[in-house]
Structure 1
């Protein structure tokens, strides 16, 4: 592991993912963490595994981010003490809160529907909630990572401030970059000792549109297939039930 991205969700993590890929890093984001290391992370979240397991999991990965990385960044840094830490931030806590609300608003209804039919989606949301609750308290964690439309904005802002302050205080300063995606390639490439690539710094998940891209990922293809099969079986069962009633009444 060369780079630990400790910034919270909705602080430009998807843009940072794309930037690190452009720079040649092998990056694991939320879905890779869940799909490939879900069982291992479950043990870590439950306190049944730790630094040695993380070292074995990510020894061949260059960078990692999002859930559950920002919740366990200290443990990951202990596993890879020479890694550099990037704390992505927004302009201010209000921008962070508004971005989180936008993401929730876009995803809420479809997730609420699909959780009825997909065990993979329920497992995925539980994974996000349990890992994220180390940073976001349980009350707000449930709202962010499940399908509740309610959001305590002041508590969310407090969690954002607390997390960023803690990373800034506890990470060795020579290994930390506090980065806003508006800063562009310069500070990032200087921090990583790499030449700046041609082109502007990438912008991903603008206005919460990452959901469209996620539909092409393995986990969400499985979620869609589970939902389709479950709905088909439900409709088929209802039809059989109706036919039985009609026959009985004939």
Structure 2
């Protein structure tokens, strides 16, 4: 059962937030990149997309927190599953967020070959169902639509999660607001600044493997 639910979209500093939570003692923290390591959970996530019952405790075995997709797609379910959990909504300038998404994950999906290696196909299907179809209704290329979805998501989480249970957080703010929210001391070390391109790199490898098959 996770104690920290990350409701922020991918490319909002989720890799840095993962590292920060783990440094503060709330790890291991699940991140989109973890799905590539724990492929046994892919079909659980696909079930969740289809509205089927999911054993969240099983999916998150060994984890204390979660950020990034696919978990962020199910922030309501995860927040309800553990009513004592805290919710962190990571945010970023919408224009910069769209540019980052467009140049990484969306480009990789657009360039994916028609035929993928069997071990990669379910992962790409998950990305399509959770993100591109599930969140953006297949219209991410429509920038105005994607930005509207992003802004509506932020408003929705802010509206539905009680203020004492929610932190709206930009990683550029550093340790202080995060530590105050979680009730832990501020570390002496600098706040982690990481750029998550792990999932993007994996998809690029899949694209090359499919092209050479």
Q: TM exceeds 0.5? A: yes
Per the TM alignment, residue 105 of structure 1 is displaced from its structure 2 partner at its CA by 7.5
1:210 aligns with one of 180, 197, 210: 197
**In 2: Cα distance, 1:15 partner to 1:162 partner:** 24
SS at match of 1:85: strand
RMSD of aligned alpha carbons: 2.8
Structure 1 position 186 matched with structure 2 position 176: yes
Q: 1:187 to 1:6 in 2, by over 3 A?
A: same
Greater RCO (Cα-Cα under 8 Å, separation 6 or more):
2
Q: What residue number does 1:241 align with? A: none
Structure 1 length-normalised TM: 0.73
Question: Which protein shows a greater Rg?
Answer: 1
SS at match of 2:130: helix
SS at match of 2:104: helix
Any conservation in 2 of the 1:55–1:80 contact (CA below 8 Å)?
A: no
What per-residue deviation string (whole Å, max 9, x for no partner) do you get for residues 41-91 of structure 1? 2222112214xx11343364211122221111000111111111000001x
1:54 aligns with one of 53, 56, 61: 56
SS at match of 1:177: strand
Per the TM alignment, residue 187 of structure 1 is displaced from its structure 2 partner at its CA by 0.4
**In 1: Cα distance, 2:96 partner to 2:18 partner:** 20
SS at match of 1:138: coil
**In 2: Cα distance, 1:47 partner to 1:106 partner:** 28
Q: What residue number does 1:138 align with? A: 138
Q: What residue number does 1:153 align with? A: 143
Per the TM alignment, residue 185 of structure 1 is displaced from its structure 2 partner at its CA by 0.4
Q: 1:55 to 1:182 in 2, by over 3 A?
A: same
Per the TM alignment, residue 220 of structure 1 is displaced from its structure 2 partner at its CA by 8.6
**In 2: Cα distance, 1:75 partner to 1:105 partner:** 26
SS at match of 1:112: coil
Structure 1 position 39 matched with structure 2 position 43: yes
**In 2: Cα distance, 1:212 partner to 1:75 partner:** 24
**In 2: Cα distance, 1:54 partner to 1:62 partner:** 12
Structure 1 gaps, min length 5? 141-150, 235-250
Structure 2 gaps, min length 5? none
